[in-house]
Amino acid sequence: MTLHLVKPEKSWSNAYQSFYLEWEESQEQMIPWVIAQFPDDMDKLLAFYEDHHTGNIPQNWVPDTTYWLVDEERVIGVVNIRHYLNNFLLESGGHIGYGIRPSERGKGYANIMLQLALEKAKELGIKQVLITCDADNVASKKVIIHNGGKAADDYVDNNGNIIHRFWIGD
C-alpha cells in the first residue's frame, strides 16, 4: 500500500466524505480543525482550503495548507500546516495539526503522515516546526517524539488543560 499526501481535490470527494462521516459518527472532536467543515459542497470546501492557503482569511489568522493522507482509494488522515505562528499558535496550536480516521488509528499512519508533513513544511520554508498535543494524548506525543520532537515548555490554557509543546528541526 502506497501512502502519500495530496492537496484536496474533487476526485477524492467520495473518499473524503467517507472519512468525514466516520469521524462524525465517532462523536470525537475533529482534529485538525479544518475537517469540521461539512463536505456536502466540495467546490465550497475546496475554495475554503484555497482561501486559507493563499491568505484570504479572517484577521489574526495565519495562512495554512491542508493535505489528505491517502492510499489507492481512501482518505486515511488530514494534516493542516500553518505557514507561520501567531501568539495563539505559539502557545497551543503549533505549525502542524493532524488526525487519523478512527478506524485506522494504531497502525502507524500518524507517523507516516507527520513525516510527510514535515517535508511539506520544509518546502514552505519552515525550518523549525512547533507541534503541540494535549497532555493526555499519549499516542500523539509518541508520534511527535518518534519524528524528532524535542520537548519545550508546556502551556496551560485558560481551562487548566496542559498542552505539550515540541520543536522539530534546525
Q: What is the pTM of this model?
A: 0.94
Give per-residue pLDDT as tens, 89-98: 999 899 999 9
Q: Which tens digits make up the pLDDT trace of 137-166?
A: 999 999 999 999 999 999 999 999 999 999
pLDDT digits (tens, 9 = 90+) for 31-73: 898 888 878 889 999 999 999 999 999 999 999 999 999 999 9
Query: Cα–Cα distances in Å, from 167 out to 22, 97, 111?
Result: 31, 13, 16
The residue with cell 513525516 is: 115
Question: Is it true that domain 4-169 has CATH number 3.40.630.30?
Answer: yes
Residue spans per domain, the chain: 4-169
